């Protein structure tokens, strides 16, 4: 059920994994995010606060390959990042990531556990306006995504978020998963 009240969309959705009702209040008037897609040789300079996570991702690439395969990662690889990462996959041709794992800091930030839902379920306006193309470009190029801006959620719009999106293969040749690292200020 979507209710529109003074520019705020209240999105109520039942999480398909937990069966619980989650609610995120998407602020329809929030400014758009600054979205970039960067090649590996530009990302350390553009996002130094993510250097340790980028290093983990980069260390899993083999023999000059552009993207590491998700099967090479282990839970302990993300030490220090567990609360601040979200793992998503692309289960079909749609460039709408399905969230598989969501760290507790991100869950607290949006007041919901998004695991088991797609990006468009919780941020339909942003997905339609800019993230569909953003995620499709990452899938097409294998570039690393960098997202910066105010959180587009009612009562959280004073927070600035920065997200790095590290693409991974998932047994095939193309981008099958994303590791999202999140920083809030």
Task: Give residue-wise pLDDT tens across range 9-62.
Answer: 333 444 444 444 455 666 677 778 899 999 999 999 999 999 999 999 999 999
The pLDDT of residue 158 is 67
Could you tell me the pLDDT band of residue 160, with boundaries at 50, 70 and 90?
Answer: confident
The pLDDT of residue 24 is 61
Checking if the pLDDT of 153 tops 80, the result is no
- pLDDT tens, 79-130? 999 999 999 999 999 999 999 999 998 888 877 888 999 999 888 888 999 9
Could you give the domains of the chain?
30-184 (3.30.450.20)
The pLDDT of residue 18 is 45
The pLDDT of residue 157 is 57
The pLDDT of residue 64 is 87
Could you tell me the pLDDT band of residue 77, with boundaries at 50, 70 and 90?
Answer: very high
Residues 16, 162: Cα–Cα separation, whole Å:
27
Residues 36, 48: Cα–Cα separation, whole Å:
15
Q: List residues bridging with 4 in a β-sheet.
A: 9
In angstroms, what CA-CA distances link 63 with 38, 57, 68? 21, 14, 10
Residue pair 132/156 in contact by the 8 Å Cβ criterion: no
Q: What are phi and psi of 175, to 5 degrees?
A: -70, 120
């Amino acid at each position: 059920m979507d209710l529109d009240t003074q520019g705020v969309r209240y999105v109520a959705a039942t999480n398909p994994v937990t069966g619980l009702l989650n609610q995120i209040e998407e602020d329809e008037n929030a400014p758009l995010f600054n979205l970039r897609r960067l090649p590996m040789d530009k990302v350390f300079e553009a996002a130094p606060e993510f250097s340790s996570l980028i290093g983990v991702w980069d260390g899993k690439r083999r023999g000059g390959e552009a993207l590491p395969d998700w099967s090479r990662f282990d839970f302990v690889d993300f030490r220090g990042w567990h609360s601040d990462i979200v793992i998503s996959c692309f289960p079909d041709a749609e460039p709408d990531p399905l969230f598989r794992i969501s760290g507790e800091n991100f869950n607290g930030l949006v007041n919901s556990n998004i695991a088991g839902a797609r990006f468009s379920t919780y941020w339909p306006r942003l997905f339609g306006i800019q993230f569909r193309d953003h995620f499709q470009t990452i899938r097409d190029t294998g570039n690393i995504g960098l997202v910066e801006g105010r959180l587009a959620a009612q009562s959280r719009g004073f927070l600035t978020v920065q997200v790095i999106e590290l693409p991974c293969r998932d047994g095939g040749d193309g981008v099958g998963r994303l590791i999202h690292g999140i920083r809030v200020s």
